[in-house]
Amino acid sequence: MEASPAPGSRSPRTERERRRAAAVLLLGRAGRDRESRSAAERFLAYAEGQRLAVSLRTADAADGRPLAVAALAGPGRAAMVLVSPMRGPDAGPVARMLDDLVGGLGGVRVAQALPEPERDAERAALAGAGFETLATLVYLEGAAEPAREDPLPGVGAGWVQEQPWSPAASGRFAAAIECSYAGTLDCPGLIGRRPIEEVIEGHRGAGGPGAFAARRWRVWSDPAGPVAVLLLARLPQEPTLEVVYLGVAPRARGRGIGRLLLRRAQAEAARSGAERVVLAADAANRPALRVYRSAGFRSVQRRLAMARFRPLGAEGAA
């Protein structure tokens, strides 16, 4: 974990103090009170507990206000980028900090950011550092509900086989995920930007250590190929089950399979002691949003999905 102040900036003396000061800025706290320091320490402890490699950059705005950016690198050669609260004139300096930060992330193929839609300055800074806007994400939340887990309907062949995750089944999961991308309305700009092995590794890391369990990953197929896939993660520190990925093959769509998979997620949440199920969907994916809302899910927030990619086959940083 590193925190790099700009030359001449007012920086704390020790590395731990620099990290904590940067974290205070990222959390939107301007003071040096005990509460701000405690919040910063919790943030740093969370990142360490999630086994994320954290890189930080700090600098001063033209009027002397401190600014900070961070990248949390995790599984699947992906990193999440965070930006401290900023103003319009800060877009240029922050874009330069972001470009330096992301450019130094060796081994990372995609750097992602999730700014709030109304934060124009942050969006401009990310765009200035080479980030693309891929989608507006709608985050939804629904209740855990015990339910009968009906089998998936047959798709032409008359039967569907269900299989949990195992190393031997990884090929089936990869095929089902890639098949579900065809014609998708959910972040189509992500398709083909990363090898499927890295995508799966990133999905396995969702929620941090302890969230993945092989029995919560399921793939369905028939003699003609993949039918559907459902990847769930039980968040260890919260009473929450996350739908990491839900996908249906094009030939199986329109049969209510998405609703059946969502019901399975709610049943698994109840079985595991979780109180709620959370997921995110592209705002452009209206059919999926109708399914989620008909199941009682409600929107809780919106974020822009922005990303900067390193081309497949390229060496060096993202």
User: What pLDDT, in 10s, does the model give residues 195-241?
Assistant: 999 999 999 999 888 899 999 999 999 988 999 999 999 998 899 99
Q: Over pLDDT 70: what percentage of the chain?
A: 91
> 94 φ, ψ to 5°?
-70, -40
User: What pLDDT, in 10s, does the model give residues 140-191?
Assistant: 999 999 987 888 887 665 678 999 999 999 999 999 999 999 999 999 999 9
Q: Which two structure tokens, joined as six digits, stand for 17?
A: 């103090």
The CATH number for 2-130, chosen from 3.40.630, 3.30.1460, 3.30.160, 2.40.30, is: 3.40.630
Q: Which two structure tokens, joined as six digits, stand for 42?
A: 């919790």
Mean pLDDT check: name the lowest of 24-28, 106-110, 171-175, 251-255: 24-28
Q: Are 99 and 126 in contact (CB under 8 A)?
A: no
Residue 7 predicted with pLDDT over 80: no
Q: Which architecture characterizes domain 140-302 according to CATH?
A: 3-Layer(aba) Sandwich (3.40)
The burial class, CB within 10 Å (0-12 / 13-18 / 19+), for 121 is: middle
